[in-house]
Structure 1
């Protein structure tokens, strides 16, 4: 397997530019490496589609239109030429496959899904091919099966719509960075330089949700990623902006139909 070597600061080197120009004779290349806590990649895009599987740690991926959360045992598909930024909240390992965009059926939009044991095993096997992969024989059959399994995976609720309006975008990015921020619509509207009604109307138009519902979704996604990574329910409740663990648990069960503890046990026991 080809591995990227962490730099002195503990961050991961970018995908080598020369390999992005490889011929179709090597349609899949995989890299595994460790990201240090606080790692943040600049915005970039690739000529190949990207499949990244979080082996440990919690990653965030931001595109021009949405933010995605990637807890352990989750994978994200990023289509070719989609601009994106990767950040790591805590130290973790990431297995990334770069796939020629014309290889089999591929999702046209970013999607996050629970990586089944089969998807994980196939991805790890493909990583062993290095840059010697050919489309014929066993290797080709494994890659085709992996692509088929990716198409069968159901998306998870880890997408947060980001407005196009620059003023609203800055506010949304601030809330994603700190879901516990208690400021309400009136205060955020003032920061955006808008009246409350204008802010509310534009926010709903560009995100498809009211401000309160959108922020609740941000908090929920943040909470689910932390639950899967093993953090305590009490700490999560306060860190995402709830006044008590009971208030957090009530919202969680009302929204997802199960308690935070039940959700964690269910996801860890059934990654698919």
Structure 2
């Protein structure tokens, strides 16, 4: 079984002379990071335990257990692991194209796909049997059918808006009034509202709530109590944070983590 860890050569998967290659990831070293890098092949990075965040020029993705991130070939990305993250990475030749996956996307990992990956992880990299070839094709078919998830925080390209979002990421507990945000960007409130929606697809308040969810998932997974997370995010009470979390995630924090 080939294994990916923080010190692995990023060129190694690109040299595997098969259209689909599967490698185990992490599980040995806690809280590791991989700096920005690219692959000639596309990849599906599946988290089985722990949690990953993936950053690109377009934004930040959170990949909790039983989800995966699709990263197209040639996209520069960095990866951060929280805890003893463990998973599987599927590398696919760039000729294997999914029309609905032209950009980085978080996908749900079905029970069948999870079991299938556990089966193919032990197949030799240079597989040749008809059975192994068929199994790898089923992996491709299952990736094509995986449901998309929203664990994504878009980053605006406009420098004025980027200054604002950088400040919110640095100080997520900052009180966000539209007047204050517009002053920070040196634009009118109307322009800020219109431009932010155009650049990110979200209103400023929705963007901040999504930031809070992504940060909360990280901090809760690290073991921080709900009360501390609520304080770090600037909520007046635990209950107001839990209500926000439940509205978006459909479960309160503790129940969501158990699921």
Report the secondary structure of 2:34's partner residue: coil
Residue 115 of structure 2 corresponds to residue 128 of structure 1: no
Q: Does 1:144 align with 2:142?
A: no
- Deviation per CA, 1:197-253, whole angstroms, max 9, x where unpaired? 443332222112221221012112333455567654333322333121111122233
The Cα of 1:261 is off from its aligned counterpart by 4.2
State the Cα distance separating 1:73 from its structure 2 match: 2.5
Alpha carbons 2:53, 2:63 under 8 Å: kept: yes
CA distance 1:78–1:96, shift in 2 (3 Å): same
CA distance in 2, matches of 1:249, 1:168: 28
Provide the C-alpha distance between the structure 1 equivalents of 2:52 and 2:13, rounded to a whole number of angstroms: 24
Q: Deviations over 1:105-141 (max 9, x none)?
A: 573222212323322222233322242224x512122
| 1:171 to partner: Cα distance | 3.2
SS at match of 1:96: strand
Distance 2:116 2:180 in 1: 49
Report the CA distance between 1:163 and its aligned residue: 0.5
SS class of match (2:207): helix
TM-score w.r.t. the length of structure 1 is 0.79
| TM, length-normalised to structure 2 | 0.82
The question of whether the paired residues in 2 share the 8 Å contact of 1:28 and 1:133 is answered with: no
Shift of 1:151: 2.2
Relative to structure 1, is the Cα distance of residues 224 and 88 closer, same or farther in structure 2, using a 3 angstrom cutoff?
A: closer
Q: Assess, with a 3 A threshold, how the Cα gap between structure 1 residues 27 and 262 changes in structure 2: closer, same or farther.
A: closer
Q: 2:103 aligns with which of 98, 109, 119?
A: 109
Contact 2:10 2:37 in 1 (8 A): no
Deviation for aligned residue 1:13: 1.7
User: Is residue 34–residue 78 contact of structure 2 (8 Å, CA) maintained in 1?
Assistant: yes
Q: Shift in Å at residue 191 of structure 1?
A: 4.1
Q: Secondary structure at the match of 2:46?
A: strand
2:35 aligns to what SS in structure 1?
coil
Give the deviation of 1:100 after TM superposition: 1.2
Structure 2's unaligned 5+ residue stretches are none
Q: Give the Cα separation in 1 of the matches to 2:139 and 2:111.
A: 11
Given the alignment, which residue of 150, 154, 158 partners 1:161?
154
Q: Which is further off, 85-94 or 228-237?
A: 228-237
Hey, what does 1:80 align to over in structure 2? 73
CA distance in 1, matches of 2:222, 2:142: 25
Q: In the alignment, which residue of structure 2 is the partner of 1:9?
A: none
Count of equivalent residues: 257
Q: 1:27 aligns with which of 9, 17, 20?
A: 20
Contact 1:35 1:93 in 2 (8 A): no
CA distance in 1, matches of 2:203, 2:19: 46
Give unmatched runs, 5+ long, in structure 1. Answer: 7-11
User: What are the superposed Cα offsets for residues 139-189 of structure 1, whole Å, 9 maximum, x if unpaired?
Assistant: 122212222222222222201121111332243244345533445444444
Structure with higher strand content: 2
2:21 paired with 1:17: no
